[in-house]
A = this chain, B = another copy of it.
Amino acid sequence: MDSINIKDIARICGVGVSTVSRAINNHPDINPETKNMIMQAIKEHNYIPNNSARNLKRTDSKAIAVLIKGISNPFFSKMIRVFEEEIQKKKYLFIMQRVDASEDEVDVALELIKEKKPRGIVFLGGFFSHSREKLEQLTVPFVLSTIGMTDSLEESSSYSWVSVDDFAESYKMTDYLCKLGHKRILILAATQDDESIGRLRLEGYKKALVDNGIEPDEELCVFSEVGRDCYTMDYGFMSMSRILREKKVDFTAVYAISDSIAIGACKAITECGGKIPEDYSVAGFDGLDIAHYYNPTLTTIRQPVEEMAESTIKILFDVIRGKAGHQKRVFKGELVEGESTRSV
């Protein structure tokens, strides 16, 4: 690397390196004139401080890291936007890290902490069934946002948690469909081995059926293949098409555990000549914009994305600043009645 460094700048300006450092980092103890002169030279010579070296020395980095599992999930797009805004508002740096589906988010976080030394972390998406021991290695305050969890971890007060109650909201939707008179409700669920929101939403569905005097029928529970991304229109379309083709099961309503899946299902129904909601009622979950723009508009559970994202950041900063301890915040979803469902 023939690249220019802080020493070169110091030499060029005829000052010490510490002075240059002070200029770069807006330290108070520096003569404005010297500072200007140095900044001038930096511009001229296209000097760019080396972040690795900075991070190595720094003990603290006025940044929030957001780790995202499933970055292409449209549900997260909005959250990310709010995170960005809120974090910038606090004059913090926003570090976004995608986490591969096969990666362990805590490991990634651990690496990131060493590397960038953020003051706080947000985990977005994914499952979360880590041992307490592992979580305790995380020396930085963190918030789990929109993440399903195993009960055992929910009690812990060493971190925060923001989400809707996936079980209860799913119950709400299923109950709604039951009250509309549907007795045979097909569910397009996640993978069979899901341990996260997929499972919670499935359980909520089953419980609601039982409470409405309907015996859950395994034939009406459709699962995605293990290993594929199941919150997609593609999955909804494929499985719905197959079911309609096979004509093995009988149902009057479809409850998809995400709006994307629901839209795929709608398409499959329409393509088979079916009408929504006349032939089948269809309901989704999430409350994406597209649920409202789709034709017919989708009945769905709207998660209050903005508030959840704002709350996530607020809680994180409260913890960072010692204003409050960790919190578990559960948001209420809103059942939005669209044109895609009707009573029978």
Contacts and interface: CB of A to CB of B under 8 A. Distances in A.
Given A233-B293, A237-B293, A293-B237, A115 B46 contact: no
Interface string A67-104: 00001101001101100100000000000101010000
A115 B49 CA distance: 9
Find the residue from A51, A77, A237, A293 having the highest chain B CB count within 10 A: A293
Contacts of A263: 290, 293
A74 B74 CA distance: 7
Interface in A33-64: 46, 48-53, 55-56, 59
Contact of A52 (B55, B294, B296): B55
Contacts of A137: 46
Contacts of A53: 52, 56
A234 B46 CA distance: 40
For chain A, which range describes its interface: under 10, 10 to 19, 20 to 34, or 35 or more residues? 35 or more
Interface string A259-272: 00001101100100
A287 to B, nearest CB: 14
Interface in A249-308: 263-264, 266-267, 270, 289-290, 292-296
Interface string A108-135: 0011001110000000000000000000
Q: Is the interface of A mostly helix, strand, loop or mixed?
A: helix
A81 B289 CA distance: 22
Nearest to A229: B81
Interface in A155-183: none
Contacts of A52: 51-53, 55-56, 114-116
Contacts of A26: none
A25 interface: no
A28 B278 CA distance: 68
A48 to B, nearest CB: 5
Contacts of A80: 71-72
A56 B56 contact: yes
A96 B80 CA distance: 15
Contact of A81 (B72, B110, B114, B237): B72
A31 interface: no
A261 to B, nearest CB: 11
A295 B294 contact: yes
A152 interface: no
A51 B111 contact: yes
A266 B295 CA distance: 9
Find the residue from A3, A52, A71, A266 having the highest chain B CB count within 10 A: A52
Nearest to A97: B96
26 contacts: A3-B114, A46-B110, A48-B114, A49-B114, A50-B114, A51-B111, A52-B52, A52-B55, A52-B56, A52-B114, A52-B116, A53-B56, A56-B56, A71-B80, A72-B77, A74-B74, A74-B77, A84-B100, A233-B293, A263-B290, A264-B293, A266-B293, A266-B295, A270-B295, A290-B290, A294-B295
Given A46-B137, A52-B53, A84-B100, 5 more contacts: A3-B114, A51-B111, A52-B55, A71-B77, A266-B295
